[in-house]
Structure 1
Amino acid sequence: MLATKTLLLLGLGAPELLFIALVVLLLFGGSKIPELMRGLGKGVKSFKEGMNEVGDVKADIEDEAKKDEK
């Protein structure tokens, strides 16, 4: 039941998240928030794609190392 009282995001609870959301709303206004979230989503997608590429490169290096051992 502890998970319902606090979120796993740095131990922030509902009142803290509501305060942060209110500050963001006051700073950027309602019309800019979808644009900010869209940019954040694109950034996260780009980061995930980059991490997948790093994994592919690592696998290629390991395959080459195995070939050299044989």
Structure 2
Amino acid sequence: MKTKNIWFNQPAGTWEEALPIGNGTLGGMIFGKTQIERIQLNEDSLWYGGPMQRNNPKALESLSQIRSLF
């Protein structure tokens, strides 16, 4: 497999220039500094007030109605 690289001339100076990584639950912005790396992390339960189950056990009951609306 061929290796793929991305090269930049300088590290990100602002959040908008940083590289996003994540999996939908845990995310990060990589700034790319070589001496002292800066990574900003965000975990989604911080915005919900702590770890909790966000799966709706009654969702299946509404699935056909939701599909019909599309």
The TM-score, its normalising length taken from structure 1, stands at: 0.27
> More strand per residue: 1 or 2?
2
Which of structures 1 and 2 has the bigger CA Rg?
1
The TM-score, its normalising length taken from structure 2, stands at: 0.27
Instruction: Select the structure with the greater relative contact order (CA < 8 A; seq sep ≥ 6).
Output: 2
